[in-house]
């Protein structure tokens, strides 16, 4: 019960942003001594911090207001001052790193970017180089976002169609050579979904679909990641499209991501506009000038079929789109939204919401750090300061 109370207080404070001990006690139905004791423990652990809020001052008829007497209220918030986690985004072409506090920012801000090499040894060598340049050497843990099929419990990449060397590597062991402490692996779309939910906690039920090097998704139900008996979920990009003859990195032919991934869109654009540069900027300019051409409409329709099918199976009506499609002219998202609505069963009875959102992977990794390392439902709080 004590652990549940700690987590309840932490979740409530995360939703409120800042609150006093008395506010937390009242909103949770706890006694003030209990809420105060939990807050003090989380403060000692470095999970929370206190912030002085100046009392309101009002002026009357232009006269300078007198300061309110008494001690200013002591408000609590998630600690934003001290980096607690080393976050790593292992991407197909780029690896990004940042030292993050418990109080995550609304937008991703990666302090280090490097080209993802072609082998495990080269990758860990690059991590060592970066670690040597960072002033902070110790963290509560290292959180790694990884593409592909990831067994998060075992810490293994089972299959990565766009980054095959990770399948044979022990990523936790590799990262452990650089930074001592626990290492948690998170499938990249799951990290994105957790980040969106962490920063918009009112979004309790949604399907997040990310477009980039591939196309993948993750499901949040009742504020939690949808549980699966197998370490596979949201593989929308590997839905086959009839008539599509392109080979996919997964080994199959006709996967939808060969049409709507960044590479797939550029290939289709180059086939249709042979005289135009094969670049993302040229693609965006062409859409702005010519609108949704037939080749692009076919690709978006294929993606919409996969997304609408997922909504129909899982029983959701809210879709969050992140990644490359959101960077193109608004006509692309408008077309995709309408195509999803045509295929989603719930649109016959109610409203299906499709929204574009920024990638919030860093916040998702922080959420994983809290869940697995700081305040897991088993074990104790780690009251250590770095």
Task: Please report the DSSP string for 94-139 in residue order.
Answer: EEEEEEE-SS--SS---SEEEE--SSHHHHHHHHHHHHHH-S----
181 belongs to a structural domain: yes
214 belongs to a structural domain: yes
| CA dist., res. 109 & res. 111, Å (int) | 6
| CA dist., res. 204 & res. 222, Å (int) | 5
Question: In which domain, by residue range, is 24 found?
Answer: 2-52+74-78
Give the residue carrying structure tokens 């169609």.
161
| CA dist., res. 111 & res. 133, Å (int) | 12
The average pLDDT across 307-335 equals 97
pLDDT at 382 over 50: no
Per-residue pLDDT tens for 244-269?
999 998 999 999 999 999 999 999 99
69 belongs to a structural domain: no
67 belongs to a structural domain: no
61 belongs to a structural domain: no
Q: How many structural domains are present in the chain?
A: 3
Exposure of 240 by Cβ count < 10 A (0-12 exposed, 13-18 middle, 19+ buried)?
middle
Whether residues 37 and 140 fall in one domain: no
Percentage of the chain lying above the pLDDT 70 cut: 91
Asked whether 308 and 295 are in contact (CB, 8 A), the reply is no
Whether residues 238 and 351 fall in one domain: yes
365 belongs to a structural domain: yes
| CA dist., res. 365 & res. 321, Å (int) | 19
Q: What is the mean pLDDT of the chain?
A: 90
| CA dist., res. 286 & res. 357, Å (int) | 23
Whether residues 134 and 12 fall in one domain: no
Whether residues 99 and 186 fall in one domain: yes
Asked whether 260 and 211 are in contact (CB, 8 A), the reply is yes
Per-residue pLDDT tens for 78-105?
999 999 999 999 999 999 999 999 998 8
Whether residues 347 and 207 fall in one domain: yes
The average pLDDT across 346-361 equals 96
| Cα angle: 228, vertex 233, 160; to 5 degrees | 125
- For residue 377, the model assigns a pLDDT of 61
Whether residues 232 and 254 fall in one domain: yes
Pairing of strands 353-356, 318-323: parallel
* CATH code of the domain covering residue 111: 3.30.420.40
The helix/strand/coil state of 319 is strand
The average pLDDT across 346-357 equals 96
Choose one of 78, 112, 132: the last residue of a domain: 78
| CA dist., res. 22 & res. 380, Å (int) | 25
pLDDT at 23 over 80: yes
284 belongs to a structural domain: yes
Exposure of 374 by Cβ count < 10 A (0-12 exposed, 13-18 middle, 19+ buried)?
buried
Structure tokens at 314: 């899982």
104 belongs to a structural domain: yes
Whether residues 15 and 96 fall in one domain: no
Whether residues 119 and 214 fall in one domain: no
- Contact residues for 305 (Cβ-Cβ < 8 A; gap 6+): 239, 339, 343
| CA dist., res. 19 & res. 43, Å (int) | 14
The average pLDDT across 218-240 equals 91
Residue 373's nearest CA partner among 38, 22, 94, 46 is 46
| CA dist., res. 246 & res. 297, Å (int) | 17
Whether residues 114 and 39 fall in one domain: no
The average pLDDT across 39-54 equals 86
pLDDT at 69 over 70: no
pLDDT at 272 over 70: yes
- Contact residues for 136 (Cβ-Cβ < 8 A; gap 6+): 83, 99, 386
pLDDT at 370 over 90: yes
| CA dist., res. 38 & res. 32, Å (int) | 10
Structure tokens at 307: 């997304």
Per-residue pLDDT tens for 168-201?
999 999 999 999 999 999 999 999 999 999 999 8
Whether residues 137 and 154 fall in one domain: yes
Q: Which helix (H) or strand (E) holds 305?
A: helix 294-314
Whether residues 310 and 225 fall in one domain: yes
| CA dist., res. 177 & res. 175, Å (int) | 5
The average pLDDT across 58-79 equals 59
- For residue 59, the model assigns a pLDDT of 43
| CA dist., res. 363 & res. 98, Å (int) | 11
* CATH code of the domain covering residue 21: 1.10.10.10
Whether residues 133 and 214 fall in one domain: no
Choose one of 78, 96, 126: the last residue of a domain: 78
Q: How many CA atoms lie within 13 A of 215 on its CB side?
A: 27
């Amino acid at each position: 019960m004590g652990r549940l109370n700690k987590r309840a207080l932490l979740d409530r404070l995360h939703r409120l942003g800042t609150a006093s001990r008395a506010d937390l006690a009242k909103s949770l139905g706890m006694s003030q001594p209990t809420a105060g004791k939990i807050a003090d423990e989380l403060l000692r652990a470095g999970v929370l911090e206190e912030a002085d809020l100046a009392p309101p001052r009002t002026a009357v008829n232009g006269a300078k207001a007198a300061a309110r007497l008494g001690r200013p209220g002591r408000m609590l918030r998630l600690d934003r001052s001290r980096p607690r986690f080393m976050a790593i985004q292992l991407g197909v072409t780029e690896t990004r790193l940042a030292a993050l506090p418990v109080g995550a920012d609304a937008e991703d801000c990666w302090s280090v970017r490097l080209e993802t090499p072609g082998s495990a040894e080269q990758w860990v060598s690059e991590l060592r180089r970066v670690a040597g340049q960072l002033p902070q050497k110790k963290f509560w843990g290292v959180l790694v976002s990884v593409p592909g099929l990831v067994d998060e419990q075992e810490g293994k990449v089972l299959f990565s169609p766009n980054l095959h060397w990770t399948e044979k590597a022990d990523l936790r062991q590799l990262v452990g050579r650089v930074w001592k402490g626990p290492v948690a692996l998170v499938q990249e779309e799951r990290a994105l979904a957790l980040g969106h939910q962490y920063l918009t906690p009112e979004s309790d039920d949604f399907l997040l679909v990310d477009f980039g090097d591939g196309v993948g998704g993750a499901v949040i139900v009742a504020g939690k990641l949808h549980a699966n008996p197998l370490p596979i979920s949201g593989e929308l990009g590997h839905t086959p499209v009839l008539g599509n003859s392109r080979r996919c990195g997964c080994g199959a032919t006709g996967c939808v991501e060969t049409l709507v991934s960044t590479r797939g869109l550029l290939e289709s654009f180059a086939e249709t506009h042979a005289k135009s540069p094969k670049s993302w900027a040229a693609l965006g300019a062409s859409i702005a000038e010519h609108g949704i051409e037939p080749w692009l409409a076919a690709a978006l329709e294929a993606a919409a079929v996969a997304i609408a099918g997922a909504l129909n199976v899982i029983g959701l009506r809210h879709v969050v789109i992140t990644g490359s499609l959101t960077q193109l002219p608004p006509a692309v998202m408008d077309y995709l939204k309408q195509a999803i609505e045509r295929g989603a069963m719930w649109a016959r009875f109610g409203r299906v919401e499709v929204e574009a959102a920024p990638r919030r992977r860093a916040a998702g990794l922080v959420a994983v750090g809290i869940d697995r390392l700081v305040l897991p439902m088993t074990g104790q709080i780690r009251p250590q300061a770095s």
